[in-house]
Amino acid sequence: MEVNKNVLVATVVFATLLTISFAVSIVGGFGKAESAHSAASVWLYIRRMLMIAAAVLVPLITWQEGLRGFGWKVSGNWIVIAVLLGIPIGYANKGGFDPRSVTALLLAGFHAFATEFFFRAYLITAISKSFKNFWPPILVSAVMYGIFYLSVWTTWQQQGLARIAFVCLFIVLGIVFGYCYKKSKSVWVPWIMHFLGVLQYRVFF
Task: Tell me: pLDDT of 166 over 90.
Answer: yes
Q: What is the pLDDT of residues 59-105, one digit of tens each?
A: 888 766 667 889 999 999 999 999 999 999 999 888 889 999 999 99
Q: How far apart are the first and last CA of the chain?
A: 55
Q: Which contacts (CB < 8 Å, 24+ apart) does range 31-35 have?
A: 31/151, 31/152, 31/153, 31/156, 32/153, 34/152, 34/153, 35/95, 35/152, 35/153, 35/154
Whole-angstrom distance, CA of residue 195 vs CA of residue 83: 10
Mean pLDDT of 181-188: 96
Give the model's pLDDT for residue 2: 52
* pTM exceeds 0.75: yes
Distance CA 188, CA 196 (A): 12
Cα(106)–Cα(96) distance, integer angstroms: 13
What pLDDT digit, counting tens, does each position of 38-66 carry? 999 999 999 999 999 999 999 888 766 66
Q: Does residue 11 carry a pLDDT above 70?
A: yes
pLDDT for 129 equals 86
Round the average pLDDT of the chain to a whole number and report it.
93
pLDDT at 170 over 90: yes
* Beta bridge partners of residue 199, listed in sequence order: 97
Give the confidence band of 184 by pLDDT, cuts at 50, 70, 90: very high
As a whole number, mean pLDDT of residues 160-179 equals: 96
- pLDDT for position 1: 45
User: What is the average per-residue pLDDT within 153-182?
Assistant: 95
Long-range contacts of 87-93 (CB under 8 A, 24+ apart): 87/196, 87/197, 87/201, 89/173, 89/193, 89/196, 89/197, 90/196, 90/197, 90/198, 90/199, 90/200, 90/201, 91/201, 91/202, 93/197, 93/198, 93/199, 93/200
